[in-house]
Amino acid sequence: MKITFIGGGNMATAIIGGLLREGFAAGDINIVEPVVAARSALTERFGVATASDINGLAGLGDVVVLAVKPQQMRAALEPLGALLRDNVIVSIAAGLRVQDLSRWLGGYAQIVRCMPNTPALIGAGITAACAPTGLGTEQRSGIERILKAIGKVVWVDDEGLLDAVTAISGSGPAYVFYFMEALRDAACELGLPAATAAELTLETVLGAAKLAAGSSENFSVLRERVTSKGGTTEAALKSMAADRIKESIQRAVNSANDRSRAMGAELGKD
């Protein structure tokens, strides 16, 4: 399987690095990157072929990964449509809908739309992907291999659900960091040194995530096991319930979902 990346930014480099660690051959990867300094850095770091535009490549590859910013996508696709045959297009651009990508590619239908998240930069991400109905089993496996280079992969049948995915896992790391900021600041207000507060916060969140990942129990069961009747945890959770924190989080996620839909409509305009 040969892969061409259109764009050599952070997510593209994360995927390429993951593929090479998994034994993928550098000679099977091409990158189209218009910035000279970025091209040089990519070649030096990964030993892959780069070009300033698609016409500079020896071949297009079996899979073309669209890794440019959504606002730059239409211009990046202009020279691509005429070159496509049986290639699979994989878009990791946030918000852009398949129907718009297809239109910009002259009606091309072999498009897999994906939503990764930023922990992918350390190989700990999760990507949701939606494939066209006609995608073959072997092609689907190939796409999954690419995406697993940056973490876990889940598939959804309805592209519309990628807005919800964006609101949960795409934006989710920011919610976690926001909570961590609040927990650290509360620790400082209680008199703990800043460094200690940060370490306690980080290790608590990391440990809780690992505990949940290693358990088959529902999140609510794990929460209940930490909550003793009349204890400190119960006091904190009662305060959060009184402030309707859970409902506030749900409203925030719905806002992200709505914004993802709106962005899809805006970005897809001609």
Q: For residue 244, give Cα distances in angstroms to 60, 237, 240, 249.
A: 53, 10, 6, 9
- Helix (H/G/I), strand (E/B), else coil: 24: coil
Residue 235 burial by Cβ neighbours in a 10 Å radius (0-12, 13-18, 19+)? exposed
pTM for the predicted model, two decimal places: 0.91
Q: Do domains 3-158 and 172-262 have the same CATH topology?
A: no
Pairing, β 151-155 against β 125-130: parallel
- Please give the DSSP secondary-structure letter assigned to residue 28: G
C-alpha 244/C-alpha 217 separation (Å) is 24
- What are the backbone dihedrals phi and psi of residue 213, each rounded to the nearest 5 degrees, phi first? -65, -30
- List the chain domain ranges: 3-158, 172-262
Strands 111-115 and 125-130: antiparallel
CA-nearest of 81, 79, 89, 149 to 121 is 149
User: Could you list the pLDDT tens digit for every one of the 270 residues in the chain?
Assistant: 999 999 999 999 999 999 999 999 999 999 999 999 999 999 999 999 999 998 888 788 899 999 999 888 999 998 898 888 889 999 999 889 999 999 999 999 999 999 999 999 999 999 999 999 889 899 999 999 999 999 999 999 999 999 999 999 999 999 999 999 999 999 999 999 999 999 999 999 999 999 999 999 999 999 999 999 999 999 999 999 999 999 999 999 999 999 999 989 998 887
Q: Residue 235 is encoded by which pair of tokens? A: 């006091």
- Structure letter (DSSP) for residue 126: E
Domain with residues 3-158, CATH architecture: 3-Layer(aba) Sandwich (3.40)
Sheet (strand 63-66) strand order: 49-51, 29-32, 3-6, 63-66, 88-91, 111-115, 125-130, 151-155
Structure confidence at residue 95 (pLDDT):
87
Instruction: Provide the sign of the torsion angle of the four alpha carbons 24, 28, 34, 35, taken in this order.
Output: positive
172-262: CATH architecture? Orthogonal Bundle (1.10)
